[in-house]
Amino acid sequence: MTECSHWVLTQQKPNGWFEGYNLRHRPIYLHFIAYTLQGLLEAASIIGPTQVIEAVQKPAELLLRKFELKKSLSGAYSPEWRPQVLYMCMTGNAQMATVWQRLSQITNDLRFFNAALKMHELLKASLWYRGPYILRGAVKGSFPIWGRYLTFRYPNWAAKFTADSFMIELQLLKTLYSKEMPCES
Amino acid sequence: MRIVVLAANIYSERALATLVALHKAGFTPIACVCLSTLSLSTIVRKLAQYGPKNFVLYVVRRLNMFRGGRHLKQFQDLQFDNPYLEHRLKYHNIAFSDVASACTEYNIHLCYCKDVNSEKVLSFLRKFDIDLIVYAGGGILRNGLIKTPKIGVLNAHGGILPEYRGMNVMEWSLLQGDQIGVTVHFIDSKIDTGQICFVNKVPVSGEDGSITALRNRIVDTTVDALVEAVRMLAKGEMRTKPQAPEEGKQYFTMHEKLLELAELKLNHIVDPLLK
């Protein structure tokens, strides 16, 4: 496990991009990018946090900046971090929110949490609250739904990553409020 | 000194207060460049800044002001968004309702534009051979405009530089338990990274009952800071300090949930001051 994580770190380019993000013959979806960052963060306990945080922080901060300026992230990126498609990858969005929140927990940098909160607004806006029962709470593969990532489908892992991220938000808010109101928490 | 003021829109109280304060200090600007209120870019910017609900309130307020006329008005009739600026805008028992009325009163050339970086604005400014631009709003400036004045473009940033760059910096400072203040600096091609003139720290006082009240007070402080900076430049007393890009962080618009927390933090600071 440690060796694998170290190997991943050796694949990082100076611009923060990890070589080999993609599955062959597919665009480099945000889902793959966020998976790598998420995996590294969860492996932090094994290979030492400083090294990992530095490796993850660069691409996470770069994507945060893109998100804050454009109010959305592209569904896929090139190795130069250029947006490659016009649709959003909702799974990747939810995972990036998780990555930002985990980074916020580790580094105490609330800018990451702030971006995650805004990403949650975007995710919530794309959810079905009415309509067919089977679709309520489901998260689209792509937004708009005809995007290339799981076209016209609602993957269960998108809903899972979204729920994960929402739960971390609750944890983080609880921690922040307990700092402000120690007697009432 | 030949000064030009940049205004975010005709109704910008900050720009209006800056114009009036500069005039009262003996540095009447030669011209003012003002973004058109009804341009698409202004509407998009205000929507992003205020959010849909507050944007509607902003439009209603502006329409009310428009209905009341665009000239000098009886002071009693006017309502200001920022009460801290009221005393600055009084003028012999009347008050300026917008930038245009102040420009007419003080013989300041006024240029409306859709983009402050446009060729129209650049050629307008070239006519005056200006020394200094005082920034009181107007979006992101490009190199063409930044390099037009001989001295530079002066801005009063509502946070402490180099630590807090970008948006909502007063709220971010408050949330992170840091000091709040105003930094006067020259604008360069990046966001809030230009040479620092000076920093004025603003202690929280008992009258800062809400984030809005504190923000209004900060805006009032930025007006004084800009006038002070112009005075220092005129006397040749200004000593600037460079800042490295890696010294600080860039902050973005704060989410409502964090704003609530910042407000809570402010209440915790203000409550003991009131007792």
Compute the distance between CA of residue B228 and CA of residue B210 in angstroms, rounded to an integer. Answer: 27
Compute the distance between CA of residue A103 and CA of residue A112 in angstroms, rounded to an integer. Answer: 7
Residue of B nearest to A70 (CA): B48
Residues of B in contact with A177 (CB under 8 A): 261, 264
**CA of A63 vs chain B CAs: smallest distance (Å):** 13
Interface check for A4 against chain B (CB to CB < 8 A): the answer is: no
ipTM: 0.90
What secondary structure does DSSP assign to A28-84, as a single string? -BHHHHHHHHHHHHHTHHHH-HHHHHHHHHHHHHHHHHHHHHHSS--SBB-TT--B-
What's the CATH class of domain A2-176? mainly alpha
**CA of A64 vs chain B CAs: smallest distance (Å):** 10
Query: Exposed e or buried b for every residue in B141-165, given b needs 16+ CB within 10 A?
Result: beeebbebbebbbbbbbbbbbbbbb
- Whether the CB-CB separation of B134 and B6 falls below 8 Å is answered with yes
Structure token digits, residue B9: 């829109």
Interface check for B49 against chain A (CB to CB < 8 A): the answer is: no
Q: What is the pLDDT of residues A128-179, one digit of tens each?
A: 888 788 888 899 999 988 888 888 899 999 999 999 999 999 999 999 998 8
**CA of B268 vs chain A CAs: smallest distance (Å):** 8
Nearest to A117 among B172, B255, B265 (CB): B255
Nearest to B176 among A110, A117, A173 (CB): A110
Q: Using the beta-carbon criterion (under 8 Å), do B258 and A114 form an inter-chain contact?
A: yes
| Domain-wise residue ranges, chain A | 2-176
Residue of B nearest to A181 (CA): B264
Residues of B in contact with A176 (CB under 8 A): 261
- Whether the CB-CB separation of B220 and B158 falls below 8 Å is answered with no
Q: Using the beta-carbon criterion (under 8 Å), do A111 and B257 form an inter-chain contact?
A: no
- Whether the CB-CB separation of A25 and A51 falls below 8 Å is answered with no
Q: Letter for the amino acid at B247?
A: E
Q: Using the beta-carbon criterion (under 8 Å), do A111 and B249 form an inter-chain contact?
A: yes
**CA of A166 vs chain B CAs: smallest distance (Å):** 14
Q: What is the pLDDT of residues A119-141, one digit of tens each?
A: 999 999 988 888 788 888 899 99
Nearest to B252 among A68, A176, A180 (CB): A68
Furthest C-alpha separation in chain A: 56
Residue-level pLDDT, tens digit, chain B, 275 residues:
899 999 988 888 899 999 999 999 999 999 999 888 666 766 777 777 677 777 887 777 666 655 544 444 444 455 667 777 777 777 666 678 788 888 988 899 999 888 889 999 999 999 888 999 999 988 889 999 999 999 999 999 999 999 999 999 999 999 999 999 999 999 998 889 999 999 999 988 877 788 988 998 999 999 999 999 999 999 999 999 999 888 889 999 999 999 999 999 898 887 777 66
Nearest to A114 among B48, B255, B268 (CB): B255
Compute the distance between CA of residue B10 and CA of residue A178 in angstroms, rounded to an integer. Answer: 44
Block residue for tokens 């102040």: B102
Q: Using the beta-carbon criterion (under 8 Å), do B172 and A177 form an inter-chain contact?
A: no
Residues of B in contact with A97 (CB under 8 A): none
Q: Comparing C-alpha atoms, which of A28, A36, A29 is closest to residue A58?
A: A36
Residue B264 DSSP one-character state: H
- What is the average per-residue pLDDT within A106-120? 95
Q: Comparing C-alpha atoms, which of B111, B114, B91 is closest to residue B102?
A: B91
Structure token digits, residue B250: 């860039």
Residues 73 through 112 of chain B touching chain A, CB cutoff 8 Å: none
Interface check for B189 against chain A (CB to CB < 8 A): the answer is: no
| Domains, chain B, ordered by start | 3-36+99-274 (3.40.50.170)
**CA of B265 vs chain A CAs: smallest distance (Å):** 7
